[in-house]
Amino acid sequence: MLDIKFIRENKDLLQTVAGQKNIKVDLDKLIKLDDKRKALNQKIDELRSQKNQTSKEIPQMDPKDREIALEKMKVVDAEQDKLEEQLKPFLVEINALMLEVPMYIHKDTPIAIDESGNVSIREVGEIRKFDFTIKDHVQLGKDLDIIDGERGVKIGGSRAYVLKGDGARLEQSLLKYAQDFISRKGYTLMYVPVIVDRFALEGTGFLPGSEDQIYHLEKDDKYLVGTSEVALGAYYSNEVLDIKNIPCKMAGISTCFRREAGTYGKDTSGVYRVHQFNKVEQFILCEGDAEKSQAMFDELAKNVEEFLASLKLPYRILNICTGDMGRGKYQMYDFECWMPSRKNYGETHSCSNLHDFQARRLNLRYKDAEGKINFCHTLNNTLVATPRILIPLLELNQNEDGSVTIPEVLRPYMDNQEKIVKK
């Protein structure tokens, strides 16, 4: 959500950005509705002022004039009530339209209608060349008895899976290593709710717009989150933080759920695209200053680069274009790891700067050194998401004898085990 004053002053810019992001929003209608809101509010304020003035004068009136004044006050009260009722539908419609307005974009964001317009910034790490016929993660999982897709589907339907034995241990080692890695950088670990109220999804910008990707528990009117970003963003909602407590750096730990609607027949085998997964998510609240939030964006990206380098996974960074970045994003990078079975890179991380888009929706503020209240900027980036990260990890570390070498940094979390072998 953006400030209505900013929207008025930058209507043409925002209408252009909406088109670039493939978002339909009628800013002319929004401004006309806001004009009507302002006019009604002005009348209500005038009546309220009139009542206040009369209330001050009544004690000095004689009984007859006081009675007349009180009768007039009743008429004014009725008129005010009438206007306030007229105002309510305008506020509802204005709020609905305000939620549709997109965030403006960083000057370096590519302009394109879809993911084909994403731009590679750089590729990092040497892609391993094999001198034997390799297996994909699905076959490795079967042969090593660490991933059971068939029984997963039997239990939970399409895109369900079971990690077992060393597969489960490997996933947990990744999650624990990620937590230790980010804790050492000063981020507070947060184990957060995965069942949330609608306001948290609206506040973080996932609703409206992503209804088909979110599990809705209709009986309780609750939602399952697709990322702990939702809970982390809502954590300080309607609060004012002290400047000394920001930037506030958190790392959310949660199971995540996505319906993957619209992906029928796509990536149905294996664990690339699943309904349930685990994630450690970086999240930062910082001052509402473009330079400072840019520094935080760079930090989030650097953290992931260090993390992937420690696992010795080759990756590339993409600058995400307008048509692929979403309504609330000011700037967005994707990190993709090399996946031999796909003969390509596959997305494993997503880094976003949303400026004050989420903060205004969640009423996330801070008090600066001069005592002024400002809206925060919010940023997020995956640190690790499993089981998808298992794809490059298993495939790139496989050996000719069918075993998989465990990355050195993960071995302390697996009793110093060096390889996963068929048992």
- Provide the edge-to-edge strand list for the sheet that holds 239-242: 239-242, 364-367, 373-375
Cα–Cα nearest to 136, from 338, 392, 313, 420: 392
Q: Which two tokens stand for residue 299?
A: 């930090």
Catalytic residue among 79, 299, 305, 347: 347
Catalytic: 49?
Answer: no
Q: State how far the alpha carbon of 264 is from the alpha carbons of 113, 261, 273, in Å.
A: 22, 7, 11
Long-range CB contacts (within 8 A, 24+) of 115-118: 115/320, 115/321, 115/323, 115/324, 117/321, 117/322, 117/323, 117/324, 118/318, 118/319, 118/320, 118/321, 118/324, 118/334
Catalytic: 151?
Answer: no
Catalytic residue among 169, 360, 361, 388: 388
Q: Which two tokens stand for residue 292?
A: 């400072």
Q: State how far the alpha carbon of 422 is from the alpha carbons of 144, 322, 419, in Å.
A: 5, 46, 10
Catalytic residue among 173, 202, 229, 258: 258
Whether the Cβ atoms of residue 285 and residue 237 lie closer than 8 Å to each other: no
Catalytic: 228?
Answer: no
Catalytic: 126?
Answer: no
Catalytic residue among 341, 350, 361, 395: 350
Catalytic: 258?
Answer: yes
Catalytic residue among 273, 316, 342, 411: 273
For 45-113, the DSSP string reads: HHHHHHHHHHHHHGGGS-HHHHHHHHHHHHHHHHHHHHHHHHHHHHHHHHHHHHTTPPPP--TT----S
Catalytic residue numbers? 258, 273, 347, 350, 388
